[in-house]
Amino acid sequence: MKMKWMIAGTLLSVTLTAGVALADAQPIKLIINGLKLSLQEASPKIIDSRTYVPLRVVSEKLGAQVNWDAKTRTIEVKSPEAKSTNLRIQQLEAALTPHTPKDAIKTYAEGVKTRNGALQYVALSPELKQESKKDFESSNWVTGVSSPWIDKYEILKEVKKDEKTYQYSIKYSLATSTGPYKDVTETYLVKKYDNAWYITSVGTDSGKVLPPQ
């Protein structure tokens, strides 16, 4: 059965310019990107002083796809723009994949210096990606603070633990508007995953498992 209204009887609530009093006197107009929808396509309704329109019709007019999963009672709206963005990000991450242990450490350190969480994320192991993703998202992928900032960094030591593991020490030199502030040293473990190298451990001498703040 084709469901004209929001799948499973759920409706999308929107704010329209038409008042409740006027809604009874004349039909409510629904215009998407300048295109007026006919009443056969979408007839908005007012229920308890709220205006509702069919989600499927509106979403599809915006180029999105609406799917209903009866088993889990889940409505999923897939935006083609979001899909394209995800594919673009995946391609960028693939291009930035570290193929040597030093590539991994340099990519991460550059991300720390520029406060670019997305760049740091690329160099992390799958386990650290999963662990830190929410923190990166909550900060809008911007790490550290505006002051003091990281002026420069230097790889102090590279130690080969075995064929698939390297340890690095990096010194970050912080500065403020008045000049040099202090240095922070961090240690990292970088391991090989198939044909790529990723950071598996990030921490200061005190054992903190976070980028410098």
- What is the pLDDT, as a whole number, of residue 54? 76
Residue pair 210/202 in contact (Cβ under 8 Å)? The answer is yes
- What is the pLDDT, as a whole number, of residue 148? 93
From residue 183, how far is each of 13, 120, 149, 150, 175 by CA, in Å? 53, 20, 11, 9, 9
pLDDT tens per residue across span 161-187: 999 999 999 999 999 999 999 999 999
Number of helical (H) and strand (E) elements in the chain, helices listed first: 6, 11
pTM of the predicted model, to two decimals?
0.62
- What is the pLDDT, as a whole number, of residue 182? 92
- What is the pLDDT, as a whole number, of residue 106? 96
- What is the pLDDT, as a whole number, of residue 124? 95
Domains and CATH numbers, the chain: 7-78 (no CATH), 95-204 (3.10.450.50)
- What is the pLDDT, as a whole number, of residue 4? 38
Residue pair 122/107 in contact (Cβ under 8 Å)? The answer is yes
Please state, as a whole number, how many other Cβ atoms lie within 10 Å of the Cβ of residue 42. Answer: 20
Please state, as a whole number, how many other Cβ atoms lie within 10 Å of the Cβ of residue 150. Answer: 19
pLDDT tens per residue across span 55-88: 777 777 777 888 888 888 888 887 777 667 777 7
- CA-CA distance, 138 to 144, in Å (whole number)? 13
Question: Three-state SS for 31?
Answer: strand
Q: What is the pLDDT along the chain (213 residues), one digit of tens a residue?
A: 333 333 333 444 444 444 444 445 566 777 777 777 765 656 777 788 787 777 777 777 777 888 888 888 888 887 777 667 777 778 888 899 999 999 999 999 999 999 999 999 999 999 999 999 999 999 999 999 999 999 999 999 999 999 999 999 999 999 999 999 999 999 999 999 999 999 999 875 433 334 444
Give the helix/strand (H/E) hosting 174: strand 165-176
